[in-house]
Amino acid sequence: MSLLEIRNLKVEFDTAKGPFKALDGVDYTVDPGEVLAIVGESGSGKSVAMLAMMGLLPNTATITADTMTFEGLDLQNLTAKDRRKVIGKDISMIFQEPIASLNPCFTVGFQLGETLKTHTDLKGRQIKDKVVDLMTSVGIPDPAGRLNAFPHQMSGGQCQRVMIAMAIACSPKLLIADEPTTALDVTIQKQILDLLVKLQQDSGMGLIMITHDMGVVAETADRVIVQYKGRKMEEADVLSLFESPQNPYTKALLSALPENATGDRLPTVSDFAEAGGF
Amino acid sequence: MSEDVILKVRDVYRTYDIKGGLFKKASTLTAVKGVSLDVERGTTLAVVGESGCGKSTLARMLTMIDAQTSGTIEIDGLPIDISKTGISKEMRQTVQIVFQNPYGSLNPRQKIGHVLEEPLLLNTDMPPAERQDLALQMLQKVGLQPEHYGRYPHMFSGGQRQRIAIARAIMMKPKLLVLDEPVSALDLSVQAQILNLLADLQDEMGLTYVFISHDLSVVRYIADKVMVMYFGEVVEYGTRDDVFNNPQHEYTKTLFAATPRADVDSIRKRLAAKAA
C-alpha cells in the first residue's frame, strides 16, 4: 500500500477577481522508503499541494480531491484535533527559510523539546537526552553546548540542521522538504542533501522534495513529478526523465540549464512554449 | 598590460572595526585581504565564493558605495578612492550595480518611468522630454513595453523586475556593470532569459561585467575569467577554462564537488551506489 495517495487534487483560491485555480487535478503517490521530487517554477502549485494535504492553507482555499489518504487514513474529513496528532509526528515538513521558521525568542533546545513534549510521553531529563541525540544525528558540533543557543547565534546551515532535527524528532513516516537548500551555499547545500538522503535511507521513511533546482533532483530523487501552472506535465523515474524527457515543458526546463548550453544563447521555456504548445 | 584593461585593482584591503562591549574587546575584521584583478573591456569576470567570503564587500568598493582601507582601484584609468577624494557625478556614471533581489531593490511607490529617469535626473542636466525618450527606449531594449512606463513595481513579475533593475543600471551608459547575484532569486526558465539579455546587452553596448555568483553552472556559462574567494582572499584566479578544468586550490575543488550534477551519467552512478 502506498504511504500517501492523493487522486485528482484541486485547489482554488477565492480572490477579488474571482476564483483562481492553483492546482487542477493532480495525482501524487509516495511509497515507503521512496524519494519523490516535485519540480516546477514558482506558481506551479508544488508547495500548495503539500500545504493542502497538511491542512495548512488559509480558508480562502477550496480543496477537493477524489482520495487523499495517508496510510489508509482519510485526511479530508479529519477534525483539526485529529489532524494535529498526525501532522508533526507521522508527517513533518521542512521549510525553505531556516532562520525565519525558527522562533527567535526561544533556544533551539527548547524548540526541539517542544515537539517531543507534544507528541511523545518523554519527560524532563529524557527529553533533554533525546534532543542531544537528535542534534548529534544531524551533525551539529558540540550538541550539548548548543542546546541553549538562540537561532540568531547559528548560521543558516546550522539552523536548517535544527529544522531537520525537529522534523525527524518523532521518526516520521513521511518527510516533506520544501526547497530545503534554496537559501544556502552550494557547499552547505551538499551537506544538507547528503544528510537528508542518509536519514531517509537509515529510517526508510518516504521523502518528498519540493524544488525548482534540477541539480537537486538529479542528486536525490527516485521518481520525479514535473508541474507547470497547476498541472502535472510529466511523471517518470529520475533516470528516464533526464535521459529522455517526453513532455515539451520538461525538455524546455532541461535545456534551460546553463550546463547544457550549446552555442551562445540559452533556450528559454517560452521558445519551447510556442513550438510545443503547452 | 594593454590599455584595454578597464578595471584594475591592486592589493585592496577592507577592514571593519568591531566595537568592543562590556565583556568584549574591540577588534578588526578584514573582509577583503589583498585582492588584485584586471578586467578587459567587454569581458566578464565572475567572482565566486560562499556567503561571508567578501565578494559583496568587493562589489561595494567597485561601485563606490564603500571605500577601500588600502590599495588602489582604477576604473578606465581613473583612480578611485572615495575616502580621500569623495565622489563626483562623472565617477558615478562609470559604474552601476544590479542587486540580487528585484523585490527589494525597487521602490514600491515609484513608477517604472521614474525609476529609470532618476539616475539621469541626479547626474545629468538632461531636459525632461529627452529623459522620457531615453527611458522608453531603454524599456524596449530590455524587452519590456512602452506602456509599462507608468506602472508600479508590484505589477511586474520577478523576471520583469530584474529587467527593470538592469535597465536602470544601464541608463547612464556605464562602462562597468557590477551584477551581485542577479539571477539567484529567479526561476530556471526566467534565469535563462535574463542571462540571454545580459549577453545581448554586452554585445550591443560593449559593457564589462563583474558577475558575482555562487552558482557555478551559471558562471561557467557567462564568464571569461573566474575568481574564487575564500575568507576574503583570492584563492583562484584565471580564465574560465583553466579554473574549471584544472582547479588548484582545495576550496575550489570542494566547491566543484559540491555542485549538483544534472547529467545522466552522474544519476546512473548515484542510483548504482544506492542499490549496492
From first to last of its 278 residues, chain A has per-residue pLDDT tens of: 789 999 999 999 888 888 888 888 899 999 999 999 999 887 788 888 888 888 888 888 889 999 899 988 888 888 888 888 888 889 999 988 888 889 999 999 999 999 898 888 888 889 999 999 888 888 888 888 888 999 988 888 888 889 999 998 888 999 999 988 877 778 888 888 988 898 899 888 999 999 988 888 998 999 999 998 889 999 999 999 998 899 988 888 888 887 776 666 777 766 666 655 56
How many other β-carbons are positioned within 10 Å of the β-carbon of residue B11?
Answer: 12
Give CA–CA dist B254/B257, Å, rounded. Answer: 5
pLDDT digits (tens, 9 = 90+) for B187-202: 877 888 899 999 999 9
For residue A242, list chain B residues with Cβ-Cβ distance below 8 A: 262-264, 267
Chain B nearest C-alpha distance from A133 (Å): 26
Answer yes or no: are the C-beta atoms of B221 and A266 closer than 8 Å.
yes
pLDDT digits (tens, 9 = 90+) for A73-97: 888 888 888 888 888 889 999 988 8
* Residue of B78, B273, B262, B269 lying closest to B175 (CA atoms): B78
Q: Which domains does chain B have, with CATH numbers?
A: 5-264 (3.40.50.300)
Do B195 and A185 lie within an 8 Å CB cutoff? no
SS (H, E, C) chain B: CCCCEEEEEEEEEEEEEECCCCCCCCEEEEEEEEEEEEEECCCEEEEECCCCCCHHHHHHHHCCCCCCCEEEEEECCEEECHHHHCCCHHHHHHEEEECCCCCCCCCCCCCHHHHHHHHHHHHCCCCHHHHHHHHHHHHHHCCCCHHHHHCCHHHCCHHHHHHHHHHHHHCCCCCEEEEECCCCCCCHHHHHHHHHHHHHHHHHHCCEEEEEECCHHHHHHHCCEEEEEECCEEEEEEEHHHHHHCCCCHHHHHHHHHCCCCCHHHHHHHHHHHHC
Mean pLDDT value across residues B229-257:
91
Chain A nearest C-alpha distance from B95 (Å): 26
For residue B183, list chain A residues with Cβ-Cβ distance below 8 A: none
Do B221 and A201 lie within an 8 Å CB cutoff? no
- Candidates A182, A238, A259: best to mutate against B (most CBs of B within 10 A) is A259
Find the CB nearest A242 among B51, B262, B274. Answer: B262
Residue type, A225: I
Tell me, what's the ipTM? 0.72
Average pLDDT, chain B: 88
CA angle, A23 then A8 then A244, to 5°: 80
Q: Which domains does chain A have, with CATH numbers?
A: 1-79+203-246 (3.40.50.300), 247-278 (no CATH)
Confidence of residue B1 (pLDDT cuts 50, 70, 90): very low
Pairing mode of beta strands B176-180, B95-98 = parallel
Do B260 and A185 lie within an 8 Å CB cutoff? no
Residue B272, φ and ψ in degrees, nearest 5: -65, -40
For residue B271, list chain A residues with Cβ-Cβ distance below 8 A: 238-239
Do B217 and A214 lie within an 8 Å CB cutoff? no
Find the CB nearest B262 among A186, A193, A215. Answer: A215
Query: A109 in helix, strand or coil?
Result: helix
